């Protein structure tokens, strides 16, 4: 089995050749914990969760190291904490909990490592000191900055020249910079900063820049060279471009990440998602409306991972219909057969596996599930993080109120036996109004499900 991925750095699809097949290493940029994760954030987590599952299948679960960081020191965090009039630690702890809860609802596995930026300040300072010693960084007005023109391949990832990159991006042009594109490695503390966001350094009290955080943490857990670096397309420049420059310069001769994978942008009904447009959707918004986590997950996987995804009610409805149909097949299969599901090897479905190995062709893989046998279907679902609950739970929910529902069904059966058709119809309509759909057959009402 050979996994091929589109490498943003080389601009072509390439076979993945791990540095060490017994330790395939992947780093993915994690959340900045200042607000609830939105569906764009969730798309990235879900995509790399599938890639992690696939890597574990190909190389073995114990042969994959997946690192996803938590950014818990950042200007956005400081601003949000001040606005809420609360300590930074209270904000970051709460939002991190929200993130974990929401991603668990989407059936995402935990990474092997989840380092926090605030626990790796020493590693960041050490990397900055190396960059200064190598002539790639300088200190100015309490700031430590990376000199972009000291790295000749700057712009290689995004494919544009330095001047074009600076002109086309939001770059802070400050007097303390030698070049407008120079980026901050360390910044001085502001007056009134929460002490928990201020750290000692050789350049004075302050905090790290965003870009150095990921370089330091990936290096700590994966080494100077590793196999895959993932993240959203919005991070390609400047974040990932800057990671490459500072990491390679801090460790001359290193390649840093060999394969760069970027998931595509997400829009809502054709428009960019933003609070000002009123189309900003969090995972919690959807869960609170009764949308099941697996429905959200499938909706996020129905478009090629590195292409734009347009979010809509139709997309959600299509995902729910698919899952309803698949769970109905598993339900009809029977519980005894369902218990044997883990004995069915995914390698017995080569056309499905090959579609995933071909640059995570998720739409093709999902399309193959429609013609699968029940055993195949469940094996496919396991690899994609879908069909993870008993069919009864899918259709009937958490069991709350089941006794009352059954009592109403029994009353309807009794009304039909007494030929009280009006009462039987009234009960059916009342149940339907509560979102309970009855499955009537010639021999009577045999089952029910939630709409």
DSSP string for residues in 202-245 = TT-SEEE-HHHHHHHHHHHHH-SEEEEEEEEGGGIIIIIHHHHH
Residues 251 and 351 in one domain: no
* Range name among 154-158, 254-258, 294-298, 411-415 with the lowest pLDDT average: 411-415
- Kindly state the tokens that stand for 298: 């499938």
Residues 157 and 286 in one domain: no
**In this predicted model, which residue has the larger pLDDT, 315 or 277?**
315
Residues 134 and 166 in one domain: yes
**Overall domain count for the chain:** 3
Residues 250 and 375 in one domain: no
Residues 281 and 409 in one domain: no
Residues 326 and 379 in one domain: yes
Q: What angle do CA 281, 282, 286 make, to 5 degrees?
A: 85
Residues 404 and 356 in one domain: no
Percent of the chain exceeding pLDDT 70 equals 91
| pLDDT (average), residues 191-209 | 94
What pLDDT is recorded for position 336? 55
**In this predicted model, which residue has the larger pLDDT, 72 or 338?**
72
| pLDDT (average), residues 221-227 | 98
Mean pLDDT of the chain: 91
Cα dist from 300 to 122, 228, 325, 366, whole Å: 37, 21, 18, 12
- DSSP state for residue 38 in the 8-state scheme: B
What pLDDT is recorded for position 400? 47
What pLDDT is recorded for position 1? 82
Question: Is residue 126 within a helix (H) or strand (E), and if so which, with residue range?
Answer: helix 121-133
Angle between helices 241-250 and 121-133 (to 10 degrees): 70
- Domain boundary (263, 290, 313) is at 263
Residues 382 and 414 in one domain: no
> Domain range spanning residue 320?
267-394
Residues 181 and 328 in one domain: no
Q: Is the model's pLDDT at 447 over the cut of 90?
A: no
What pLDDT is recorded for position 413? 77
Q: Is the model's pLDDT at 178 over the cut of 60?
A: yes
| pLDDT (average), residues 293-305 | 98
Helices (H), 302-442: 313-333, 335-338, 350-357, 362-369, 374-384, 391-396, 402-417, 421-433
What pLDDT is recorded for position 275? 78
* Range name among 72-86, 104-118, 157-171 with the lowest pLDDT average: 157-171
What pLDDT is recorded for position 408? 74
Helix (H, G, I), strand (E, B) or coil at 338: helix
Residues 256 and 317 in one domain: no
Dist. CA 203–CA 99, nearest whole Å: 34
Q: Is the model's pLDDT at 169 over the cut of 60?
A: no
Q: Is the model's pLDDT at 351 over the cut of 90?
A: yes
- Kindly state the tokens that stand for 314: 């139709």
What pLDDT is recorded for position 124? 98
- Domain boundary (210, 236, 263) is at 263
Q: How does pLDDT run across 83-102, given as a tens digit for each residue?
A: 999 999 999 999 999 999 99
Q: Is the model's pLDDT at 160 over the cut of 90?
A: no
| pLDDT (average), residues 40-45 | 97
Which domain CATH number covers 51?
A: 3.40.50.620
**In this predicted model, which residue has the larger pLDDT, 165 or 255?**
255
Dist. CA 205–CA 218, nearest whole Å: 24
| pLDDT (average), residues 196-217 | 96
Dist. CA 184–CA 139, nearest whole Å: 10
* Range name among 64-73, 116-125, 175-184, 356-365 with the lowest pLDDT average: 175-184
Q: Is the model's pLDDT at 15 over the cut of 60?
A: yes
Q: pTM (2 decimals)?
A: 0.88
Residues 316 and 328 in one domain: yes
71 phi and psi angles, rounded to 5 deg: -85, 105
What pLDDT is recorded for position 141? 94
Residues 175 and 254 in one domain: yes
Sheet holding 256-263, edge to edge: 64-68, 24-28, 225-232, 256-263
Q: How deeply is 276 buried, as exposed, middle or buried, from its count of CB atoms within 10 A (0-12, 13-18, 19+)?
A: exposed
What pLDDT is recorded for position 442? 66
What pLDDT is recorded for position 341? 55
Q: How many CA atoms lie within 13 A of 338 on its CB side?
A: 17
Residues 6+ apart with CB under 8 A from 377: 326, 329, 330, 369, 387
- Domain boundary (212, 239, 263) is at 263
């Amino acid at each position: 089995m050979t996994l091929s991925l589109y490498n943003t750095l080389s601009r072509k699809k390439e076979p993945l050749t791990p540095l060490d097949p017994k330790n395939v290493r992947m780093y993915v940029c994690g959340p900045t914990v200042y607000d609830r994760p939105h569906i764009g954030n969730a798309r990235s987590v879900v995509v790399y969760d599938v890639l992690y599952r696939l890597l574990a299948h190909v190389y073995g679960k114990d042969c994959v190291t997946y690192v996803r960081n938590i950014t818990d020191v950042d200007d956005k965090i400081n601003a949000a904490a001040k606005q809420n009039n609360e300590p930074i630690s209270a904000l970051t702890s709460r939002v991190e909990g929200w993130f974990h809860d929401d991603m668990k609802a989407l059936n995402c596995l935990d990474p092997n490592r989840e380092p926090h930026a605030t626990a790796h300040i020493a590693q960041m300072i050490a990397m900055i000191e190396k960059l200064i010693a190598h002539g790639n960084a300088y200190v100015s007005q309490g700031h430590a900055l990376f000199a972009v023109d000291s790295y000749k391949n700057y712009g290689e990832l995004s494919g544009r020249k330095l001047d074009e990159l600076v002109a086309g991006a939001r770059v802070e042009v400050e007097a303390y910079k030698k070049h407008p594109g120079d980026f901050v490695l360390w910044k001085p503390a502001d007056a009134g900063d929460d002490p928990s966001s201020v750290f000692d350094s050789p350049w004075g009290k302050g905090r790290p820049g965003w870009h150095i955080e990921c370089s330091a943490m990936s290096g700590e857990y994966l080494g100077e060279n590793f196999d895959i670096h993932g993240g959203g397309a919005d991070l390609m420049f400047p974040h990932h471009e800057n990671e490459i420059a500072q990491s390679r310069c801090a460790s001359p001769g290193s390649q840093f990440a060999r394969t760069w994978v970027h998931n595509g942008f997400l829009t809502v009904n054709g428009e960019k998602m933003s609070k000002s447009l009123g189309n900003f959707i969090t995972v919690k918004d959807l869960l609170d409306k009764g949308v099941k986590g697996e429905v959200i997950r499938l909706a996020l996987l129905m478009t090629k991972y590195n292409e734009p995804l347009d979010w809509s009610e139709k997309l959600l409805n299509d995902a729910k219909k698919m899952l309803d149909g698949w769970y109905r097949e598993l339900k009809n299969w029977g519980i005894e057969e369902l218990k044997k599901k883990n004995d069915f090897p995914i390698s017995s479905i080569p056309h499905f596996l090959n579609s995933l190995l071909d640059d995570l062709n998720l739409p093709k893989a999902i399309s193959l599930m429609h013609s699968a046998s029940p055993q195949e279907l469940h094996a496919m679902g396991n690899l994609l993080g879908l069909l993870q609950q008993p069919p009864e739970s899918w259709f009937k929910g958490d069991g709350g109120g089941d006794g009352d529902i059954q009592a109403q069904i029994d009353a309807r059966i009794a009304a039909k036996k007494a030929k009280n058709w009006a009462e039987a119809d009234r009960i059916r309509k009342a149940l339907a109004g509560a979102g309970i759909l009855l499955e009537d057959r010639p021999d009577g009402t045999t089952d029910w499900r939630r709409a």
